[in-house]
Homo-oligomer: A and B are copies of this chain.
Amino acid sequence: MTQSIAIIGASGYTGAELVRLIATHPSFRIKALAANSKAGQSMAQVFPHLRHLDLPDLVTWEQIDFAGIDLVFCALPHKTSQEVIAQLPAHLKIVDLSADFRLRDPAAYEKWYGTPHAAPDLQKEAVYGLTEFYRDAIRGARFVAGTGCNAATGQYILRPLIADGLIDLDDIILDLACGVTGAGRALKEPLLHSELSEGTHAYSVGGVHRHLGEFDQEFRALAGREVQIQFTPHLAPFNRGILATGYVKGDARAVHAALQAAYAAEPFLEVLPFGETPSTHHVRGSNFCHLGVTGDRIPGRAIVVAALDNLCKGSSGQAIQNANLMLGLDETAGLMLVPCFP
């Protein structure tokens, strides 16, 4: 049965990635595309790579007739998202890709985002969208909040290790390189090609990156106590991809075994043989996440490296995976695209 889909916030990169994936999805059909700042334009004007597709023109989200829509992907900027979603009809299934509904605790939201939440009731309803760990809740949910792309990557590394009590909870470091699309299509000087290509730098150093709010929330729930990790993201000169390197104190073989066990049945999480390490090259454009575990020369320490595509598995691919569940479809529908290498 065909599912009618609307995308709000279709002029950003996650919006475009949703369209890319839905174009070969067997059951989804795009009925409306909204982008208030570019309403009236065709999608081909905004994203010429979608030129061959038969897509509705961009409208404002207020212009969408939601009567015939089964599910809405909301790919708006943070803060805007909560304002818009609060006004959507209550019957709609919604997958939000913004940061607005990832934190369940209003106080945590205000701490990390600097302003009170404008839709606290919705905040309570939202199911956290890390598919592999919230699958049952997502299946029954009306409203799912997609995770941060860095937050997803880090949790794929750490959740089984925390859940199984395999690592020292007070000594976890997550060092991460993120591709440029992680910052979206915003007009900011530091995102110009001339500023970014041919080099790298760290940002949000020292425990101030907002995805830490997600780590704190999720790891606390898993461990039954506060867990504060150290997290340093770097901006690296490629468009797609996150490579996260996790440093943990625990037995490397046990860490590897825990990840293998946790992800054995997962369609998109691939645990490499012990001692191998993944590369963002090998997941680009796909919904796969590759994980590798190596022991350090210092006994009792392990390094876990994970690679995924921030736009796909880290955002729009995850959103579709969740939508598939919410709509009773095969979870992998439309998502088996092979990584595009080289």
Contacts and interface: CB of A to CB of B under 8 A. Distances in A.
Interface string A254-296: 0000000000000000101001011111111110101010111
A226 to B, nearest CB: 11
- Copies of this protein in the assembly total 4
Given A49-B281, A243-B200, A340-B20, A207 B13 contact: no
A239 interface: yes
A230 B288 CA distance: 28
A282 B206 contact: no
A240 interface: yes
A239 B342 contact: yes
B193 A197 contact: yes
A175 interface: yes
A198 B24 contact: no
Contacts of A201: 243, 277-281, 305, 307
Contacts of A240: 198, 342
A211 interface: no
A199 B337 contact: no
A10 to B, nearest CB: 14
A9 B338 CA distance: 19
- Name the residue in A48, A189, A277, A298 with the highest tally of chain B Cβ atoms < 10 Å from its Cβ: A48
A294 B247 contact: no
A205 interface: yes
A194 interface: yes
Given A191-B192, A230-B298, A303-B205, A338 B237 contact: no
A185 B194 contact: yes
Interface of A: 13, 16, 19-21, 23-24, 47-53, 171, 173, 175, 177, 180-181, 185, 187-189, 191-203, 205-208, 212, 228, 230, 232, 234, 236-241, 243, 245, 247, 270, 272, 275, 277-286, 288, 290, 292, 294-298, 301, 303, 305, 307, 311, 336-342
9 contacts: A187-B187, A194-B239, A195-B342, A198-B239, A199-B243, A199-B284, A205-B277, A205-B292, A337-B337
**Lowest 7 A-B CB distances belong to which pairs?**
A207-B297, A201-B279, A199-B281, A49-B282, A49-B339, A199-B280, A206-B294
